[in-house]
Amino acid sequence: GRNLGMVTKSNLILGMGETREEISEALRDLHQAGCDLITITQYLRPSERHLPVDRWVKPQEFVDLQHEAEEIGFLGVMSGPLVRSSYRAGRLWATAMRKKGWEIPAELAHIESSGSTRQEASSLLAAHQ
């Protein structure tokens, strides 16, 4: 998508048995494949018929992963236990557009905002400091 002038996004769901190195490898692979935006979230078991949660990821790990993804070069990152793949997708898109130096159409300027949201781990940690 990068070569075609598009912004691309993916999502990692944690707490299903993955290792920290597998997460880092997935982030590197996604970015190398052309992914611009990433959301990182906690797996929440929808029902007893679904795979159980292997582990609950601590807020600090979500913050650390956000920093890692930014260092890798993702243009937009949202990371936290309650972040969902489409949550604030417009805001992430606007962030990527700005970082690429592309214009955001006036009719979409309202979706651009700054700061973290309550669902992001950085907000959770800041509230408890």
Residue 70: the pLDDT is 97
Enter the tokens of residue 96.
């990527």
Q: What percent of the chain has pLDDT over 70?
A: 84
* Eight-class DSSP state of 117: -
Which tens digit of pLDDT belongs to each residue from 114-129? 556 655 666 666 666 6
Which tens digit of pLDDT belongs to each residue from 50-82? 999 999 999 999 999 999 999 999 999 999 998
Average pLDDT (29-47) is 95
Cβ contacts of residue 11 below 8 Å, gap of 6+?
38, 39, 40, 41, 85
Of residues 109 and 41, more confidence is placed in 41
Average pLDDT (106-117) is 71
Whether the pLDDT of residue 18 is over 80: the answer is yes
Q: What percent of the chain has pLDDT over 90?
A: 57
Residue 47 vs residues 15, 41, 53, 85, 109: alpha-carbon distances, Å: 15, 18, 11, 19, 39
Average pLDDT (36-40) is 95
Distance of CA 66 to the CA centre of its chain: 7
